[in-house]
Amino acid sequence: MTKSKDVNIFLEWIEICQKHGRDVMSDYTSLMTISKDINIFLKWIEICQKHGRDVMSDYTSLRINSHKSALLERMLSGLDPLPNPPPLSFSYPWYTLIEDGIDYPLEVFKPSAQFTEYFKHPMLVINQSFWRIVKEIGPDEWEVTYTYNESDKKVTAPDTWIVKCVGIRNEGGDSPFDKFWEIKIVTSPVMP
């Protein structure tokens, strides 16, 4: 890394800390936390790269990715990263699903056949994210898993989940939003 990139990363770290309400420039004691927080920042980059995300392609990308990262926010607030990235719910990491083992998605539906052909597996859309169908249990119940590596969509989570309809919102409606859904973990070798 060149000196200017090092300085830019340091300045980016200061900006991120300030975004999260941490004034690291106010006194010497605050500056002592720099080492810890820079290590968190570097660990975030390492985790992103491990899972196929190139967050360091250029300084602008680094700034955008770091400002939008739920993982970096999680790590800076003192929470550990999960062993594998969580699934997405409306484009945002679904940490509560992994941590609680159950949640209630707003939309669940099977996409058109062209998506199954593209992914080479039967798929289900849950809160605007594609999940791989492991087994179809019934007309409104499936066992599913999700992919989490952006550069290799064949990498799936080690867990499986049951998604099922648990109620009707609008009798006779044809929208994915007309039903109440539940998603619950079945197997998880990574959960404590």
Q: What is the pLDDT of residues 133-185, one digit of tens each?
A: 999 999 899 999 998 765 566 678 888 999 999 998 888 777 777 899 999 99
Q: Are residues 68 and 93 in the same domain?
A: no
Of 20, 13, 3, 65, nearest in space to 36 by CA: 13
Q: Is 83 contained in some domain?
A: no
Residue 180 lies in a domain: yes
More confident residue, 81 or 158: 81
- Residues 16-40 have pLDDT tens digits of 777 777 766 565 555 556 667 778 8
13 or 96, higher pLDDT: 96
Same domain as 178, residue 150: yes
Sign of the Cα pseudo-torsion (123, 125, 131, 137, in order): negative
Domain containing 113 equals: 88-187
pLDDT at residue number 34: 64
162 forms beta bridges with 143, 184
pLDDT for 5 = 61
Residue 177 domain-assigned? yes
Q: Please list the residues that pair with 126 across neighbouring strands.
A: 108, 129
Collapse the DSSP code of 81 into the 3-class scheme (helix H, G, I; strand E, B; otherwise coil) and give the result: coil
Q: Is residue 192 part of a domain?
A: no
Judge if 68 and 92 occupy the same domain.
no
